[in-house]
Structure formats: structure tokens, C-alpha cells
Amino acid sequence: MFAIMKRELLSYFTSPLGYVFIAVFYLFSGIFLFLFTLTSQSADMSYVYTGMFFVMLIMIPILTMRLMAEENKQKTDQLLLTSPVSLPRLVMGKFLSAFAILLICMLIFLVYGIVLSCFASVNWAVILGNIVGMLLLGALCVSAGLFVSTLTENQMIAAVGSIGLNIAFILVDSFASVMPTKFLQEVIYSLSFFSRYNEFTIGIFSLSNIFFFASVAFIFLFLTVRVLEKRRWS
């Protein structure tokens, strides 16, 4: 598992992808910090986190597109699947590599917190809570992207497919508003990624939201394992 994770990380940083991804992530978070926090002269970063919701949903597919698609194309999956490694471990290794990149991305918010704390009092609990929230959202996007990447051997299709999937996640709220019955509205609304994520940004650290993101991520990882398994049997 860690061998696979290490290899993937190495591959992120032997190509420009890892660097570019982190740089663009820092760029967007910097722009949001400047626009929403610094210019309004407040130490409240909640709009920054809201902005990051969309950035992550659009960007993470770029990070995950090649995870399995490239293996399928280069037939290197033959090495992985004939090695004494179980499929869940293989999938976890892939997942953790992209997740580790996200961890590096999140460090910037600690830096922002430190910078802000020089000028105003900063609520560290909220900052840390939001980093956890973004990591949970990130974990979900990574596992969804990994799932789509497993389905194809073309990186572009993997990227477009998972961006589409993520946009569908964003649109869940819009669907809720057009549902005819109150009950359906509530059911769909409870699946809303944005409103759940939003609770983190305004400082609510609720266990049910953590559980929601973690379990959806788990479902996609599980599906990824099943797809690999199924291909073997078909």
C-alpha cells in the first residue's frame, strides 16, 4: 500500500503536475484571501473556504485523472494486479497519494492563520475545523475521481467525467428546490454537499457532516475496488 502511495507521489513530482496543482491551489486561495479577507479588513476567512469548495471540485479531477487510467493504458496494472497486494490496499495506496498532495495544499491555510494572527485575533478552532472540512471534501473528490479514472484508460475522459460528476454534486441543491413534495426536497437537501460543507465554513463542526463526507468517500473507494474486481471476472 505504501509502496504504491510512494510511487504515485514520486510520479506527481517527477512530472510538473504535482507542482502545478499545488501552485494553482495556492494561487486561488491567495486570491480569495486577498479579495474576501484582506480587502474587507476582517480576520474572518469563511468566504475563502466557500470559494475553495468550487476550486476543489473542479481541480481535484486533474489530480486523480491519471491514477488508474494511465495504468490501464500502459498495462502496468498487470504488475499491480499480479502482485501479492489486495485490491483494497492497492486502491488505498492510490487514494492516499492524491490525498497527501491535498495535505500539502492545506498547509497554506495554516500560513494564512499565522499571518492574520499578527494583525488580529484569530479563532484557531475555526481554521483547523475548516481544514478538516476541506480535507473531507477533498477525500470525497479524490475517491470519486479515482473511481472514474478506473473506468477508462483515457486520462481526458477520466478528467471530464469526474468534473462532470463533481458538478452534479454541486447541482444537488438546485434539484432540491424544484422537487414537488416537501419530503423529497428534504431527502435531496440532506444529500447537499454545499450546505454540509457550508456548515464548516461558518464554524459548525458537526459529526453528521464528517460522517457524511467520510461515508460517501468510502462508497466511491468501495466501488473502485468492485470495478477492478469486475474487470477481472468479465
Task: Point out which residues bind another protein (CB under 8 A).
Answer: 2-4, 6-7, 10-11, 14-15, 74-86, 232-234
CB of 144 to another protein, least distance (A): 25
CB of 20 to another protein, least distance (A): 15
CB of 2 to another protein, least distance (A): 8
Query: Based on CB atoms, which residue is closest to another protein, 18 or 161?
Result: 18
What is the chain's alpha carbon radius of gyration, rounded to the nearest angstrom? 19
Query: Based on CB atoms, which residue is closest to another protein, 11 or 185?
Result: 11
**Separation CA 48–CA 201 (nearest Å):** 9
CA-CA-CA-CA torsion for 105, 108, 109, 115, nearest 10 degrees?
Answer: 180
**Separation CA 2–CA 94 (nearest Å):** 9
Query: Based on CB atoms, which residue is closest to another protein, 78 or 174?
Result: 78
Query: Based on CB atoms, which residue is closest to another protein, 9 or 170?
Result: 9
**Separation CA 125–CA 128 (nearest Å):** 5
CB of 94 to another protein, least distance (A): 13
Which cell numbers in the block locate residue 146? Answer: 479515482
CB of 232 to another protein, least distance (A): 5
The answer to whether 213 touches 196, Cβ cutoff 8 Å, is: yes
**Helical residues (DSSP H) of 15-123, grouped into ranges:** 17-32, 46-64, 66-74, 77-81, 87-117
